[in-house]
């Protein structure tokens, strides 16, 4: 089920809210768990069994680890349990998500292996990458000393909670541990949650989906001009940001409605002046996950040799690319980021960029260029298409500078593109902070802003009613 669907707005959300606030507080977690499993089953009922199995597996492993971790003589067993947990989770992820890719790659290299390597026809469970990493992080945290949760339903709720189940943010158990046991909901916090949800809803429907229309059209063309190529990638850059951050806003908003505070997942990433900074602002929960569970255990930056540092970064970014999808484009995308971040680290670029205004501007332009070129890889079905697209962007393959298609879409979508660019900056946030402090005017501006978001929500619902093209990009992860 999508948040941006009529059945969610008209059926699931009101029923879930009604049940939640009518029930006694001791039943609310169970109600949320039931609703979350129903939410997941709505897409494909058989996947619920898979997720419940994942919950049970990780719950049991955490219990086992907690039983042996304090005993020095059983440290080896503790490590074994951890190994089984990680191997088990990653194996399942591998089978469902990566096995066919690996098989196809091996067969392309060694055709005589045909018939000897298994291939599957499993459907990819929605959100498998997210909830697998989330469940794994819980067990790893227990290994590291976090108290184990003995109530399986609480673990079930943590893993399957519908706001962040399908597309994150990846929530750490320690973030929500106390909130699961006890949380207080005031109308103010409820309202803040509603506001956040509405903003995310509007971002998705009115910016992401519209930009997606253009990007899809451009990528569907076999030949196009330099202008069209840039329009296409700018639109995709905006689409993926508003799609994903919009979903995160809705997830955070819904969490807050039910009394949970999730951490932020995006912090105006397109304002970054370095790739390093970009990844501190983009999909923060994934970046911190890899930092805490891969990079730091490998030694992080505090290693003696630069070779080791480069290795650590390479591993993290290779895995980041692989996490995003079973395609060489994602792997190359991740590796390229690894290269860029490594270069920045070795040359201490993030600090040097902050020297003066010119370097800041240059840093921002270069970062955005790198990010957009990365999105070309991310969007393309294969490296060849990506290469051809990039060549067109820079006029390297003899395509014309402009064409009618590009001019038309530039004219038709200019206002939305401009809105997308402006809303991607903290301009409104900063303006809001400045105005907030002014008596009366601050109230008026806040009220006007809230009213504007509500009006936009009506427009967003109208887009739903119009059967607007509405898929989430990160749904496939």
User: Alpha helix locations (H) across 74-151?
Assistant: 75-93, 99-109, 128-143
Residues annotated as catalytic are 324
How far is the C-alpha of 339 from the C-alpha of 305, rounded, in Å? 17
Interaction between residue 438 and other proteins (CB under 8 A): no
Q: 201: closest CA among 468, 475, 466, 461? A: 461
Per CB under 8 A, which of residues 396..415 are in contact with other proteins? 404-405, 407-409, 411-415
User: Contact 271/425 with Cβ under 8 angstroms?
Assistant: yes
> Which CB atom, from 69 or from 256, has the smaller least distance to other proteins?
256
The stretch near other proteins (CB under 8 A) out of 94-102, 105-113, 132-140, 183-191 is: 183-191
Q: Least distance in Å: CB of 410 to other proteins? A: 9
197 and 249 Cβ atoms separated by less than 8 Å: yes
Place of tokens 């190994």: 83
Would you count residue 133 as binding other proteins (CB under 8 A)? no
Distance CA 338, CA 344 (A): 10
346 binding other proteins? (CB under 8 A): no
Are the C-beta atoms of residues 224 and 181 closer than 8 Å to each other? no
The smaller minimum CB distance to other proteins, of residues 175 and 450, is found at: 450
Of 8, 7, 451, the closest CA to residue 195 belongs to 451
Q: Rounded to whole angstroms, how far apart are CA atoms 442 and 99? A: 56
Q: At its nearest, how many Å lie between other proteins and the CB of residue 202?
A: 11
Task: For the CB of residue 13, give the shortest distance to other proteins in the complex, in Å.
Answer: 6
Token couple for 184: 């207080």
Nearer to other proteins, 74 or 416 (CB): 416
Under rule CB under 8 A, residue 235 binds other proteins: no
Footprint of other proteins on 34-93 (CB under 8 A) = 41-45
Whether 456 and 206 have beta carbons less than 8 Å apart is answered as: yes
| Number of amino acids touching other proteins (CB under 8 A) | 54
Which residue from 14, 147, 297, 471 is in contact with other proteins, where contact means CB under 8 A? 14
Task: Assign 273 to helix, strand or coil.
Answer: coil
| Residue 397: DSSP 8-state | T
Q: Does 114 bind other proteins (CB under 8 A)?
A: no
Candidate segments 113-121, 147-155, 187-195, 388-396, binder of other proteins by CB under 8 A: 187-195
Q: Which residues are at the interface with other proteins (CB under 8 A)? A: 1, 5-7, 9-11, 13-14, 17, 41-45, 187-188, 190-192, 194-195, 197-198, 404-405, 407-409, 411-416, 419, 436, 442-443, 446-447, 450-451, 453-454, 457-459, 461-463, 465-467
């Amino acid at each position: 089920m999508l948040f941006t669907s009529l059945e969610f707005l008209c059926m699931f959300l009101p029923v879930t809210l009604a049940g939640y606030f009518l029930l006694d507080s001791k039943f609310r977690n169970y109600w949320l768990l039931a609703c979350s499993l129903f939410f997941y089953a709505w897409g494909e009922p058989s996947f619920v069994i898979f997720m419940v199995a994942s919950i049970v597996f990780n719950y049991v492993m955490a219990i086992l680890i907690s039983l042996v971790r304090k005993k020095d003589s059983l440290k080896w067993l503790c490590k074994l349990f951890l190994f089984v947990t990680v191997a088990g989770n990653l194996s399942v992820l591998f089978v469902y998500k990566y096995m066919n890719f690996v098989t196809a790659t091996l067969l392309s290299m060694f055709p005589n292996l045909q018939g000897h390597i298994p291939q599957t026809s499993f459907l990819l469970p929605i959100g498998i990458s997210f909830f697998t990493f989330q469940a794994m992080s819980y067990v790893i945290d227990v290994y590291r000393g976090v108290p184990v949760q003995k109530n399986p339903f609480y673990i079930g709720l943590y893993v399957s909670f519908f706001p962040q189940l399908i597309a994150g943010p990846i929530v750490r158990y320690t973030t929500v541990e106390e909130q699961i046991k006890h949380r207080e909901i005031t109308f103010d916090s409820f309202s803040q949650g509603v506001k956040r949800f509405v903003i995310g809803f509007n971002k998705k429907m009115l910016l992401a989906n519209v930009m997606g229309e253009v990007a899809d059209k451009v990528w569907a063309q076999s030949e196009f001009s330099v202008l069209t190529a840039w329009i296409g990638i700018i639109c995709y850059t905006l689409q993926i940001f508003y799609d994903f951050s919009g979903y995160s806003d809705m997830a955070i908003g819904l969490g807050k409605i039910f009394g949970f505070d999730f951490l932020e997942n995006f912090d105006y990433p397109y304002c970054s002046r370095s790739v390093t900074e970009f990844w501190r602002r983009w999909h923060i929960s994934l970046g911190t996950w890899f930092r805490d569970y891969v990079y730091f255990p490998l030694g992080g930056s505090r290693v003696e040799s630069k070779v080791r540092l480069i290795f650590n970064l390479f591993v993290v970014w290779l895995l980041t690319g692989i996490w995003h999808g079973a395609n060489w484009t994602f792997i190359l995308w991740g590796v390229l980021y690894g290269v860029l971040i490594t270069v920045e680290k070795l040359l201490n670029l993030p600090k040097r960029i902050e020297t003066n205004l010119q370097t800041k501007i240059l840093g921002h332009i270069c970062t955005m260029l790198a990010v957009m070129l990365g999105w070309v890889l991310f969007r393309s079905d294969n490296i060849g298409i990506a290469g051809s697209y990039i060549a067109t962007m820079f006029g390297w393959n003899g395509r014309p500078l402009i064409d009618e298609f590009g001019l038309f879409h530039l004219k038709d979508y200019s206002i939305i593109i401009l809105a997308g660019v402006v809303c991607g900056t903290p301009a409104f946030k900063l303006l809001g902070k400045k105005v907030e402090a002014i008596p009366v005017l601050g109230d008026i501006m806040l009220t006007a802003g809230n009213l504007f978001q509500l009006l936009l929500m009506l427009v967003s619902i109208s887009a739903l009613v119009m059967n607007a093209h509405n898929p989430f990009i990160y749904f496939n992860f």
